Amino acid sequence: MKILLKGETSNEELLEAVMEILHLDMPLDFCLNIAKLLLDHERESVGFHFLTIIHERFKSSENTGKVLLLYIDMLLQRKEELLAKEKIEEIILAHQTGRQLTAELMNWLHNILWRKATSSFEVQNYADALQWYYYSLRFYSPDEMDLDFAKLQRNMACCYLNLQQLDKAKEAVAEAERHDPRNVFTQFYIFKIAVIEGNSERALQAIITLENVLTDEESEDNDPVAERGSPTMLLSLAAQFALENGQQIVAEKALEYLAQHSEDQEQVLTAIKCLLRVVLPKIAEMPESEDKKKEMDRLLTCLNRAFVKLSQPFGEEDLSLESRVNEAQWFRKIAWNLAVQCDKDPVIMREFFILSYKMSQFCPSDQVILIARQTCLLMAAAVDLEQGRKASTAFEQTMFLSRALEEIQTCNDIQNFLKQTGTFSNDSCEKLLLLYEFEVRAKLNDPLLESFLESVWELPHLETKTFETIAIIAMEKPAHYPLIALKALKKALLLYKKEESIDVSQYSKCVHNLINLSVPDGASNVELCPLEEVWGYFEDALSHISRTKDYPEMEILWLMVKSWNTGILMFSRSKYVSTEKWCGLALRFLDHLTSFKESYETQMNMLYSQLVEAVSNNKGPVFHEHGYWSKSD
């Protein structure tokens, strides 16, 4: 037969050969092998005719089942379904009367029936598929329920759902759940039925159970739907089905799990984008609450997962470089917008800005992207700096401030690059970076602080406000740099003098801070600069007071008290000429008081007379004990 089949032997010659085999009374298995050989060589007409003869000859033998199954299989392949069904009914009748097939042949029969049902399912002939599954079901007895029985029930449930026969689908799924509750397809059909019925709680529980099963092990199944993809594809189908049926919360959970479990880069990114599109409008309308914080945390986790996927190496089948850039641009903007919405929660806001920065690194470094990166890092540094200010331990403070310094330095690199290329110059950003870096280095007690400031003092475009802020930062705990603060205030005062129109209120505060730093209240031996220089600051202030009516009276009062107390300090050092000079200066400030003048004039003149007398009589110790003033006096 093999020799004949290798040549161009006609069907008539082959038929003669197989008839000769029958005359030789060859055994059944040999005849079946010949039939299969003919069919394998695409000689169906001869093979099927031979199989029909075999079936008739051996139908009374104990091996008739094997012949019959092969015969049924051939009938179905030839689409002679009515005859095949007759033969199946014969097997069912024999099965019910005790003439059952062996376990091996029964498995073969189920495979034939399921294969036929699957082919009908694939062409959407669900009613026909159910008929073939029902034939398979009739061979099961109550004591033979196994995992294959659960598969059968799921397959039937799928057909019922497509035929919109919900009650029958529920019965089939209930049977499947009873015998195989941990199967992903069982849970998928439970989910679909729950969604159709509008039972969100049941649908959500099915999705959670399905995710738990996927976490425990990878399932394998021959359900019709299984051929459409891996088990994680069920989560994709579940999300789509939930959205189509208005079950948004259920869809969100399915998309979240899909992004978590899928190994497919594009599928993960698509799932996360879909989830964000569903959730973002809802979050935008939520008031500040713990629920909103949880939603933000969830989106942060999803965006971090998207970043991880974008970071993975990509080949021909993965994202192209252009696609990666487009995806990164989209996620970068989403992270930015979410950061802006988190103004009440700086910590989570920082995380979104850092994520936006990371996403931008997949994008071309044009001007827009560079400015976006700089802004993200600047905002992150601001949060870290604030965290450092509030830190309860030195370790935490150092951690936050060190992180802020790294972000600031990267910002500076971007700023310098933009300035070198001449594409962009943002003085306000540069000033802010300068102040942030100074504060971080000051609080970290950085040994490079002085060298950092050397370049700062020479910058031409700094304003009085910048120098005043440097002075404040230099004295904020844990920093303590009075000489730096003094130098900054001197530069600020110098700039005020150069202005055509001075802001008297701001000027008065600058003078106040400079004098107070130069001669601290209560100090007896500590002055950061010579009193002659300090005298010049008082004279400058008095000059401005003489020229304007807008100088704050409380500042004039403070200058009066400060100069008086400085005079008393000189008296305690037996510097009587300086004593009269400083106390006399206080009287000059007294002349410019308005609402407070009446309250202080009599007392001041009396004290000044006593001071002059004390100087004359050399009664320093007695006067020194009672001569100091404060504004509260």
- Residue for token digits 């989560």? 235
Q: Are residues 474 and 547 in the same domain?
A: yes
Q: Are residues 609 and 572 in the same domain?
A: yes
Q: Assess whether pLDDT exceeds 90 at residue 443.
A: yes
pLDDT band at residue 430 using 50, 70 and 90 as cut-offs: confident
Q: Which two tokens stand for residue 225?
A: 């739907």
Question: Burial, 625: exposed, middle or buried (Cβ in 10 Å; 0-12, 13-18, 19+)?
Answer: exposed
Question: Burial, 36: exposed, middle or buried (Cβ in 10 Å; 0-12, 13-18, 19+)?
Answer: middle
CA gap 56, 156 in Å, rounded: 34
Report yes or no on 285 lying in a domain: no
CA gap 430, 117 in Å, rounded: 72
Domain boundary among 498, 532, 551: 551
Report yes or no on 231 lying in a domain: no
- Residue for token digits 């609402």? 595
pLDDT band at residue 219 using 50, 70 and 90 as cut-offs: very low
DSSP letter string, 71-119: HHHHHHHTT-HHHHHHHHHHHHHHHHTT-PPPHHHHHHHHHHHHHHHHH
Q: Are residues 533 and 611 in the same domain?
A: no
Report yes or no on 325 lying in a domain: no
Q: Are residues 570 and 620 in the same domain?
A: yes
Q: Assess whether pLDDT exceeds 90 at residue 194.
A: yes
- Which SS3 state, helix, strand or coil, does residue 628 take? coil
* Residue 624 pLDDT: 47
Number of domains making up the chain: 2
Report yes or no on 58 lying in a domain: no
Report yes or no on 578 lying in a domain: yes
pTM for this predicted structure: 0.76
pLDDT band at residue 625 using 50, 70 and 90 as cut-offs: very low
Question: Burial, 484: exposed, middle or buried (Cβ in 10 Å; 0-12, 13-18, 19+)?
Answer: buried
Of the chain, the percentage scoring pLDDT greater than 90 comes to 51
Q: Are residues 477 and 543 in the same domain?
A: yes
Q: Are residues 535 and 564 in the same domain?
A: no
CA gap 108, 101 in Å, rounded: 10
C-beta of residue 207 within 8 angstroms of C-beta of residue 254: yes
Q: Assess whether pLDDT exceeds 90 at residue 316.
A: no
Residue 623 sits in which domain range? 555-632
**Measuring CA to CA, how many Å separate 309 from each of 240, 269, 302, 375?**
22, 8, 11, 24
Report yes or no on 224 lying in a domain: no
SS (H, E, C) 509-553: HHHHHHHHHHCCCCCCCCCCCCHHHHHHHHHHHHHHHHHCCCCCH
Q: What does the pLDDT average to over 99-113?
A: 86
Domain boundary among 551, 568, 603: 551
Q: Are residues 509 and 481 in the same domain?
A: yes
Q: What does the pLDDT average to over 165-193?
A: 92
- Residue for token digits 């498995």? 107
Report yes or no on 505 lying in a domain: yes
- Which SS3 state, helix, strand or coil, does residue 221 take? coil
From 336-340, 384-388, 458-462, 487-491, the region with the lowest mean pLDDT: 458-462
Type of residue found at 504: V
Report yes or no on 585 lying in a domain: yes
Residue 551, by phi and psi: left (phi above 0), alpha (psi -120 to 50) or beta?
beta
CA gap 296, 165 in Å, rounded: 41
- 10 Å Cβ neighbour count for 289? 9
Domain boundary among 551, 571, 602: 551
**Which residues, including other chains, have CB under 8 Å from residue 86's CB and lie 6 or more apart?**
none
Q: Are residues 543 and 481 in the same domain?
A: yes
CA gap 516, 510 in Å, rounded: 10
From 60-74, 380-394, 589-603, the region with the lowest mean pLDDT: 60-74
**Which residues, including other chains, have CB under 8 Å from residue 525's CB and lie 6 or more apart?**
none
C-beta of residue 225 within 8 angstroms of C-beta of residue 158: yes
